[in-house]
Structure 1
Amino acid sequence: MTIQELKVASDRIGVIIGKGGETRRSIEEKAQATISIDSGEGLVTIEGEDAIGVLRATEVIRALGRGFSPERAFRLFDDDDIILDLLDLSHVADTPQKMNRIRGRIIGRDGKARTQIENMTDTTISIYGKTVGIIGLPEPVITARKAIEMLVEGAEHGNVFSFLDRRKKEAKQDLISSYY
């Protein structure tokens, strides 16, 4: 029996449970695990015989807790290679105003910067509280994380998108040369 526990913000418990318990049941089915939720403490316990299923469910719940929608978090069930990476921003912003400015830079006007990073790296990004979550395959996640770190450090959006464009071309070139 494998057991994992994690703490989730109380405002995200409803998302984990889902309408009529739908999301929770879905996670339990996909992971072959049982989920117990203590709403008061925000404590979620996942247990099951299949250790990998329990770990996958833990990652999905962690993603839900960090602002991802169930549809986006469930990508973690689609492929064993897909990972969740969490970037903690609390060390770069010591005031709520600075945190808002940094989140705003990552999101961009009308969400355009985040969408562009997602599209150029084939990742899914969620900005929630003091964290940025990234879901995707390892290499693209590393690239998306680097782009977000560049924005956090004050790089211009144009420079970040140029970096992403170069990375995309390099990845395509690597794919072509490994094929031949």
Structure 2
Amino acid sequence: MSAIDAFKAPSLVSKKTRKEMVQDKDDVVIDSSTLSTQSMQEDVDMDESSSSSGISKPKFAAVSGGEANTVAKGIRRIPIPPHRMTPLKRHWMEIYTPLVEHMKLQVRMNIKSRTVEIRTCKSTEDPSALQKGADYVRAFALGFEVQDAMALLRLDDIYLDSFEIKDVKTLHGDHLARAIGRIAGRDGKTRFTIENASKTRIVLADTKIHILGSFQNIKVARDAICSLILGSPPGKVYASLRTVSARMKERF
């Protein structure tokens, strides 16, 4: 019987009953106001039930101004190479003054361990003062002048980048010496040209190269130095630096 019922023709529906069915469908209208009031009533009921059950919201005491400005205690020990101990002693007051007066840090020189120790204190206000002070002393230890290294304290977008000539190309003996000579130039002319064009400071320490500047400027100086290491003639590097410096002037 079920198979026969499946093949039966659909039953006829009069126009009057069809209109009534359509009207019934249209009569079902959702009112947004009723839903919002209903949901609000449910939320109120939930709050009342939670308060009646004894569950209360956590309450925290207000943070005072002194507690909000406190900086976590920390200490940094920066090792100083033996050949930089004499310049450190000579320029100690110039290095010491901005760390204590402006960054509000405690500094001391440990001659036995050949380190400079920096730590925060109660008067330290800047959370990044310890890191900036450590980078400042590390820059001087790498060979930068005090005035150049002081940019790490005054500006936020100044960084240190270090790499070796062997990281770019494996050179030995006279080839390595010639690569260093190409970077320095006669009387330091090439190095000064790269510094002025890229607005950076460069230190050549044997096979290591240290660059101080912003991220974009470090990239410009590093590309020029890598080109010299790989054997590009200085004239070609000067031309590319001239183009880059002109583009930087147009940008700023």
Instruction: Give the TM-score taking structure 2 as reference length.
Output: 0.61
In structure 2, relative to structure 1, the CA distance for the partners of 1:40 and 1:100 (3 Å cut) is farther
Deviation at 1:27, TM superposition (A): 4.0
Secondary structure in structure 1 of the residue aligned to 2:139: helix
Structure 1 range deviating more: 35-44 or 77-86: 35-44
1:113 counterpart = 2:184: no
Kept after mapping to 2: 8 A contact 1:2/1:47: yes
Aligned with residue 59 of structure 1, among 116, 130, 135: 135
Structure 1: any 5+ residue segments left out of the alignment? none
Amino acid paired to 1:132: I
Amino acid paired to 1:58: A
Give 1 or 2 for the bigger CA radius of gyration: 2
1:43 counterpart = 2:120: no
Structure 1 range deviating more: 113-122 or 41-50: 41-50
Deviation at 1:132, TM superposition (A): 1.5
**CA–CA distance in structure 1, aligned partners of residues 78 and 152 of structure 2:** 17
**CA–CA distance in structure 2, aligned partners of residues 98 and 129 of structure 1:** 14
Amino acid paired to 1:106: I
Tell me the equivalent position of 2:226.
149
Deviation at 1:97, TM superposition (A): 4.6
Kept after mapping to 2: 8 A contact 1:18/1:24: no
Tell me the equivalent position of 2:82.
10
Structure 2: any 5+ residue segments left out of the alignment? 1-72
**CA–CA distance in structure 2, aligned partners of residues 120 and 147 of structure 1:** 10
Structure 1 range deviating more: 97-106 or 137-146: 97-106
Structure 1 range deviating more: 63-72 or 88-97: 88-97
Amino acid paired to 2:244: R
The number of aligned residues is 174
**CA–CA distance in structure 2, aligned partners of residues 153 and 78 of structure 1:** 35
Instruction: Give the TM-score taking structure 1 as reference length.
Output: 0.82
Higher relative contact order (CA 8 A, sep 6+): 1
Give CA deviations for 1:107-143 in whole Å, capped at 9, x if unaligned.
1011110111011111111112332221222211110
Amino acid paired to 1:160: V
In structure 2, relative to structure 1, the CA distance for the partners of 1:143 and 1:55 (3 Å cut) is same
In structure 2, relative to structure 1, the CA distance for the partners of 1:43 and 1:130 (3 Å cut) is farther
**CA–CA distance in structure 2, aligned partners of residues 28 and 147 of structure 1:** 34
1:131 counterpart = 2:208: yes
In structure 2, relative to structure 1, the CA distance for the partners of 1:96 and 1:26 (3 Å cut) is farther
Secondary structure in structure 2 of the residue aligned to 1:60: helix
Amino acid paired to 2:140: L
Aligned CA-pair RMSD: 2.3
Secondary structure in structure 2 of the residue aligned to 1:6: strand
Aligned with residue 28 of structure 1, among 80, 88, 99: 99
